[in-house]
Amino acid sequence: MVTGVDIAVVGATGLVGQEFLRILEHHPLRINRLKLLASKRSAGTNIKVRGCSLRVEETTPESFDGIDFAFISVSGEVSSQLAPEAVKRGALVIDDSAAFRMKPGVPLVIPEVNGSDVEWHEGIIAIPNCSTTQLVMALYPLHRANPLKRVLVSTYQSVSGAGKAALDELRIQREEMKVKGPSIPAVFPFRIASNVIPQIGDFDTYGYSEEESKIIEETRKILHDPDIKISATCVRVPVTICHSESVNLEFTDPMGVRKAHMLLDNMPGLKVMDGSGLMPYPVPWDLQGTDDVYVGRIRRDFSVENGLALWVVSDNLRKGAALNAIQIAEEVLNRRVLKK
């Protein structure tokens, strides 16, 4: 492994960027230089990282000169402009937006699942959608042992997945509901406080939202299996952090609950809650700030042959985004495919 790397964090003042920096505080990744980048509006603030106060700079193409890893967590539109500039200047881009995920020459990586895919990168590696990541972490050990025929997933996604403005909207609506009716929503199509919204992104001609299409397409790409039948329903819920998923699976051959438990228990980065103890199954409130994907409520699904049902919870800002980005960088370094 190289002795240290030069890193640029684009979107350093956003929710994922801030979580990225919090993880770096105690992470063993060796860093020579850390550059914090953001929009012109957010530039000029100071952030303390590993004991040093670093000034946030405005992002320009020149910001990537001499950089090894550019971690980008901004909108797809902005990332589409910045990522090629970073690659042009020699940086390996690890991108958190949807801009590059489904492009043929871009690996879409969860290191515990398809870490070897980093070896064929051409300068950009994409991070999956947060809801896809926790789903695939649970699917992978099962699918590897007994091929999946069909996946049905319903998500319950936290407000932080929509950014800082969304969290502010939830907080304001909660406060206003104590004294009067909530204000007109700005981030979401309906009020989010004390509500659920079965829409994340625009709908396509078939009635699927953008988030639902992402889960379907990304899962197939990561698992290298375009034939898995997948249906998704994505719902925004008034939870601050952590996404939850109800997952129903149909396998090629019989899959017992005990066998599934064992396979999941042996998966790195995943923990099984087996119904005993003070916390018999995963819930978002208790798992925010944690790094693993948690699985519980493992049971037979009697509605189909060879069926199984699961409940999956994970911190969408950590394993769903920032932590996965750092793990991708580690994978690149361990496999010696950082092109310097």
Domains of the chain, CATH where assigned = 5-128+321-334 (3.40.50.720), 131-315 (3.30.360.10)
Q: End-to-end distance of the chain based on CA atoms, in angstroms?
A: 13
Residue 1: what pLDDT?
A: 43
Active site residue 242: no
Active site residue 234: no
pLDDT greater than 90 at residue 276:
no
Per-residue pLDDT band for 2 (boundaries 50, 70, 90) equals low
56-73: pLDDT as tens digits? 999 999 999 999 999 999
195-250: pLDDT as tens digits? 999 999 999 999 999 999 999 999 999 999 999 999 999 999 999 999 999 999 99
Catalytic residue among 121, 143, 234, 243: 243
φ and ψ at 230, to 5 degrees? Answer: -135, 135
* 275 token code pair: 């119904």
124-172: pLDDT as tens digits? 999 999 999 999 999 999 999 999 999 999 999 999 999 999 999 999 9
pLDDT greater than 60 at residue 340:
yes
* 3-class state of residue 324 by DSSP: helix
Taking residues 103-110, report their average pLDDT.
97
Provide, rounded to the nearest whole percent, the portion of the chain with pLDDT above 90.
92
Residue 182: what pLDDT?
A: 64
DSSP 36-104: EEE-TTTTT-EEEETTEEEE-EE--GGGGTT-SEEEE-S-HHHHHHHHHHHHHTTPEEEE-SSSSTT-T
Opening angle at CA 198, ends 193 and 204, nearest 5: 140
Catalytic residue among 130, 143, 234, 242: 130
Mean pLDDT of the chain: 95
